Amino acid sequence: MNYTIFIKSIKYGFVLISIIIILLIILNNLSHKTEKTPSQRISSNDFKSISQVLHKPTFMSIDNKKQPFKVMATKATRYKSEPNIFNLDKPTGEIKSGEEMFFLSGDFGIFNKEVQQLKVEGNVKFKNQDNMIFKTSEMYFDFKQEILSGKKKVKGKKDNSIIVSEGFKIINKGEKIFFTGKTKLTLVKN
């Protein structure tokens, strides 16, 4: 009699284990169906807002005084919602004023093509052909009004002279330079 109880318990045990295994298989398959595959994770809806991605774009135009300027980047992204605004990676710029050239560079930028304004952020540098250089973390340039400005700390250097300020405004491509906030100027005679 003990033998029959043992056989019956093994029989019901195997049935119970079989049911548990079948349930685990079903649950495992359901979890794989709901999990997205890598190709499904990025759907076409994710790209509906992106209109265009440009590699190494160059935007060229002239300002009010018919002087050329150029804005370049390693990559520019334009969105359908704002077709005249480009998000720039590693933007650079060249601005000509008379015979003198000015150069601008940074880590990130936003260029509004319609109103011809550029905002550059990150490790921003503005320099001329000689040895004048300004370094800051954020800079705005309005090509139409020819105003370059920034409200973040700026450090400028020419020859051995140094200026440190809380902000700045450069008008007419360097003809007038205003420093705002606390400013420290060190002049060194050559």
* Domain contains 32: no
- pLDDT at residue 42 tops 50: no
* Domain contains 181: no
Residues in the chain: 190
At 177 the pLDDT is 82
Structural domains counted in the chain:
1
More confident residue, 86 or 96: 86
Q: Could you tell me if 108 and 127 are in contact, meaning their C-beta atoms sit under 8 angstroms apart?
A: no
* Domain contains 40: no
- pLDDT at residue 41 tops 50: no
Question: What pLDDT, in 10s, does the model give residues 127-140?
Answer: 887 788 889 999 98
Pair of tokens at residue 29: 């398959």
Pairing of strands 154-158, 75-79: unpaired
* Domain contains 166: no
Q: Could you tell me if 93 and 124 are in contact, meaning their C-beta atoms sit under 8 angstroms apart?
A: no
Pairing of strands 75-79, 108-112: unpaired
User: Chain-wide mean pLDDT for the chain?
Assistant: 81
- pLDDT at residue 2 tops 70: no
At 187 the pLDDT is 85
* Domain contains 137: yes
Q: Residue 117: give the domain boundaries.
A: 45-146
* Domain contains 83: yes
At 47 the pLDDT is 52
Q: How far apart are CA 47 and CA 13, in angstroms?
A: 54
Question: What pLDDT, in 10s, does the model give residues 46-85?
Answer: 555 667 788 888 888 776 677 777 888 999 888 777 778 8
Least confident of 35-39, 78-82, 164-168: 35-39
* Domain contains 139: yes
pTM of the model: 0.64
Q: How confident is the model at residue 38 (pLDDT cuts 50, 70, 90)?
A: very low
Q: In 10 A of CB 53, how many CB atoms?
A: 12
Q: In 10 A of CB 121, how many CB atoms?
A: 18
Question: What is the domain-level CATH number for residue 81?
Answer: 2.60.450.10
* Domain contains 96: yes
Average of pLDDT values for 89-116?
A: 84
23-36 b/e (C-beta count within 10 Å ≥ 16 → b): eeeeeeeeeeeeee
